[in-house]
Chains A and B, each alone.
Chain A
Amino acid sequence: MTKFLKGNYTLDVTIDETGDGEAMQTVEEFERKALSRLGGSICFVSKKGFLWKGEDGARTSDRQPS
Chain B
Amino acid sequence: MELGRQIASRLKEATFERVVAAGLSNAEINGPRIQRSVLELSRLRLGAGDSAIVVGAGPSLHRRRSLERLRASGYAGTVVAVDGALGACLRAGVVPHVVVSVDPHRERIVRWFGDPALSAAPADDYFRRQEMDPAHAADELSANRALLRLVDAHGASIRVAVATSAAPEVVARCAAAGMELFWWNPMYDDYDRSESVSLRLHRANGLPCLNGGGNVGTAAWVIAHAVLEKRRVALLGIDFSYPPGTPYERTQYYPELRALFGDRFAEAYVSLEHPVLKERWFCDPAYWWFRDVFLEMAREAECRTVNCTEGGILFGDPIELAPLEDFLADVRAGAGVTPSERT
Contacts and interface: CB of A to CB of B under 8 A. Distances in A.
B202 A52 contact: yes
A50 B210 contact: yes
Nearest to B210: A51
Contacts of A37: 18, 253, 256, 259-260
Nearest to B268: A38
Interface of A: 32-46, 48-55, 60-63, 65
Contact of A51 (B208, B216, B293): B208
A50 B301 contact: yes
B211 A50 contact: yes
A62 B301 contact: yes
B285 A38 contact: yes
Helix, strand, loop or mixed for chain A's interface? loop
Given A41-B104, A44-B214, A50 B222 contact: yes
A51 B190 contact: no
Contacts of A46: 12, 296
Given A50-B211, A50-B301, A43 B19 contact: yes
A50 B297 contact: yes
A42 B212 contact: yes
Contacts of A60: 226
Contacts of A42: 15, 19, 102-103, 163, 165, 186, 212-216, 219
Given A45-B187, A45-B189, A62-B301, A40 B290 contact: yes
Given A61-B226, A62-B303, A63-B300, A41 B211 contact: no
B222 A41 contact: no
Contacts of B187: 43, 45, 48, 52
A43 B216 contact: no
A65 to B, nearest CB: 7
Interface in B7-31: 7, 10-20
A51 B256 contact: no
B301 to A, nearest CB: 5
B127 to A, nearest CB: 15
Contacts of A35: 7, 10-11, 13-14, 17
Contacts of B260: 34, 37-38
Interface residues of B, number: 63
Given A54-B206, A63-B300, A63-B302, A38 B11 contact: yes
Contacts of A52: 187, 191, 198, 202, 208-209, 211
Nearest to B284: A38
A36 B208 contact: no
Nearest to B191: A52
A44 B211 contact: yes
B300 A36 contact: no
Contacts of B199: 55
Nearest to A50: B226
Contacts of B16: 39, 43
A61 B226 CA distance: 7
Contacts of A54: 202, 206, 208
Given A40-B214, A43-B189, A62-B225, 11 more contacts: A35-B13, A36-B14, A36-B18, A40-B15, A42-B163, A43-B20, A43-B187, A44-B212, A50-B211, A50-B222, A52-B211
A45 B185 CA distance: 13
B17 A36 contact: yes
Contacts of B147: none
B112 interface: no
Contacts of B257: 38
